[in-house]
Amino acid sequence: MDLAYLRPEQIKDAVRRNIPVLMPAGVVEYHGPHLPVGTDYLIARAVCEEVEKRCGCVFAPPLTYGPTLSWAGSGGEGEMDFAPEPFYAYAREALRCLYHIGFRRIYVLQFHQGSNGLQSLCLRRAAADLVREITSAWGGGWGRKPPDELPEKDIFGVFHIATLDTYSDPSPAGGCAMDLSHAGRGETQLILAVYPGLADMDAIARAGAGIARWLGNASEADEEEGRKWIEYCVAGWVRELSGTNINS
């Protein structure tokens, strides 16, 4: 269910049934000469869309801009380094609105610089500030009360900031670790798996010797390998949102 397409009575029904919300988050960032600048967001969106097809969840409007630190490139190459403070404020308001609609299982699938990157830290700060804001009205010592007497039974289970494989089987597919190298083999094969028409693999050779070091193995990307890892991530998210995740 895409939130933007739902009518009020459908939203109320989703809230009543405690349907989880899933929001993709990424950035606009240089990903070499062969990949689109929206690579991170596009991969996150593709996983969310596939998860939405397989389990009951609400697909929320995405967070498509975020802080990049201009690590990979410059503005002339499509890099959009969104300042952390306005990104944090926007993310906080987006999460706040979802909460005030009535949703109590709100997930952000964030894919940029890993779980300790600046975008993830901003999102976690936004969620933390909302938890503090919500509980500040409950008075001191609210943790002594039985959960049933609190406005929220599980306030620490409302907001979840996670990445592609957070909920995946701890035994990696194929017996090897997931390759998430920036614009290298890892991200390139994920794009090949979900948006093959957006990758220009010949651009790597045309770039010549001046190509960035982290693009060194991009030509090794394999579309079938990418599909395997997309499925690995999707399966973990479906388990989590369906309430059957082995890591919960």
Domain CATH number, residue 50: 3.40.50.10310
43 within some domain: yes
Q: Say if residue 93's pLDDT is above 80.
A: yes
Half-sphere exposure for 74 (CA within 13 Å, toward CB): 1
Closest CA to 28 of 72, 70, 64, 71: 64
Quick one: average pLDDT of 90-112? 97
Quick one: average pLDDT of 164-176? 83
Closest CA to 163 of 43, 78, 70, 79: 43
228 within some domain: no
Alpha-carbon gap, residue 207 to 211, rounded angstroms: 6
Q: Say if residue 109's pLDDT is above 60.
A: yes
Alpha-carbon gap, residue 220 to 178, rounded angstroms: 15
- Give the percent of the chain with pLDDT over 70: 97
List the domain range (segments joined by +) for residue 11: 3-139+149-169+234-241
Q: Which residues does residue 109 pair with via DSSP β-bridges, in sequence order?
A: 24, 162
Closest CA to 30 of 64, 73, 76: 73
Total tally of structural domains belonging to the chain: 1
76 within some domain: yes
List, in order, residues 6 or more apart from 79 with CB less than 8 Å away.
28, 29, 30, 37, 68, 70, 72, 73
Cα radius of gyration (the chain): 19
Closest CA to 19 of 50, 45, 51, 58: 58
Residue 246 binned pLDDT confidence (cut-offs 50, 70, 90): very low
Residue 174 binned pLDDT confidence (cut-offs 50, 70, 90): low
Percentages helix, strand, coil for the chain (3-state, rounded to 5) are 50, 5, 40
**Residue 174 per-residue DSSP state:** G
Quick one: average pLDDT of 154-165? 95
184 within some domain: no
Pairing of strands 106-110, 21-25: parallel
Alpha-carbon gap, residue 157 to 123, rounded angstroms: 15
Longest dimension (CA), the chain: 65
107 within some domain: yes
Q: Say if residue 248's pLDDT is above 70.
A: no
247 within some domain: no
Residue 65 binned pLDDT confidence (cut-offs 50, 70, 90): very high
Q: Is 193 helix (H, G, I), strand (E, B) or coil?
A: helix
Alpha-carbon gap, residue 111 to 120, rounded angstroms: 8
115 within some domain: yes
Taken in order 210, 180, 173, 198, the sign of the CA dihedral is negative
Length of the chain: 248
246 within some domain: no
Q: Is 107 helix (H, G, I), strand (E, B) or coil?
A: strand
Average pLDDT, the chain: 92
